[in-house]
Amino acid sequence: MITTSKQQKTAVIIGATGNLGRALSTALQSAGWHIDPIWASENRPDATRAESYANLPARIDFAAYLAGVNVIADTQDLAEADWDRVFATNLKGAFLFAKAAFPSLCAAGKSSYVAISTINTLHPYPRRAAYAASKAGLEGLVRELAVEWGGHGIATHAVRLGHLAGLMKTTPANPALLAAVKERTPSHSLIAPEEVAKYLVWVAEGGAQSISGSIIDFDPAYTINRWPL
């Protein structure tokens, strides 16, 4: 395992090269954290394979699983291979990372494991069966880990994320969708990745250590706005 300074806290961010991952890495580094560089590389390992997690730091204060993939297709037409690929990235990878990171999270004394879910688990959009189902499973994993890991000083969290100001790389650009979301959001604005990053830094630094197994709706009231006029 890789060792770092005892004084400097260490974070491992799976999905560090995405919009949210880059924002989180920048925010943590600004707060004095060390970020495991392996996952920030363009030659990063495959998050869906167990061997990719063989060389995690010996101590992990904050583990974040941000990796995600989406396939848009009518459920009756969704290929089994695409279903498996989405589940491998969104759920299996989170399990493999959690399993491998456990000793290092324990070594930190007080630590956190965070995964990114989606508003689609409770407010599903059409043609996203694999995405919604895999993220619902991810929320179940986070709750399970909270029960198992609380005695080891590890708090687990999931962020049920609304619409960021930009679509996922695997989601075809649909400006009309984002415009409609903004119209239905009371603030008429989408979520800046930097705002999510600030929240996650607060979690990483122990702000939510007394909370574990919770799924936070990180959404500016888009999903609950039912005002018809």
The answer to whether 215 touches 142, Cβ cutoff 8 Å, is yes
pLDDT tens-digit readout, 118-143: 999 999 999 999 999 999 999 999 99
Closest CA to 134 of 121, 145, 122: 121
Extents of the domains making up the chain = 10-217
Lowest mean pLDDT of 14-18, 38-42, 74-78, 167-171, name the range. Answer: 167-171
Give the pLDDT confidence of 153-164 residue by residue, as tens digits.
999 999 999 999
User: What is the pLDDT, as a whole number, of residue 80?
Assistant: 98
Answer whether residue 3 shows pLDDT above 60.
Answer: no
Q: What pLDDT sits at residue 203? A: 97
pLDDT at 202 over 80: yes
Mean pLDDT of 194-203: 98
pLDDT bracket for residue 174 (50, 70, 90): confident
Q: Give the pLDDT of residue 6.
A: 53
15: left (phi over 0), alpha (psi -120 to 50) or beta: left
Order of all β-strands in the sheet with 154-161: 34-35, 10-14, 62-65, 111-118, 154-161, 214-218
Rounded Cα gap, residues 51 and 61, in angstroms: 21
CA distance 187 to 82: 35
| Residues belonging to the chain | 229
- pLDDT tens across 90-120, in order? 999 999 999 999 999 999 999 999 999 999 9
Q: How many CB atoms lie within 10 A of CB 72?
A: 17
Arithmetic mean of pLDDT over the chain? 94
Residue for token digits 């400097």? 8
> Residue 209 above 50 pLDDT?
yes
Q: Which of 94, 213, 47, 87 is nearest to 145 (CA)?
A: 213
Q: What is the pLDDT of residue 5?
A: 47
Separation CA 23–CA 209 (nearest Å)? 22
- Closest-CA residue to 90 (of 26, 137, 160): 137
Q: 10-217: what CATH class?
A: alpha beta
Q: Give the model's pLDDT for residue 141.
A: 98
pLDDT at 55 over 90: yes
Mean pLDDT is lowest, of 6-15, 120-129, 182-191, for 6-15
Question: What residue type is assigned to position 138 of the chain?
Answer: L
Question: Which whole number is the average pLDDT over 81-93?
Answer: 98
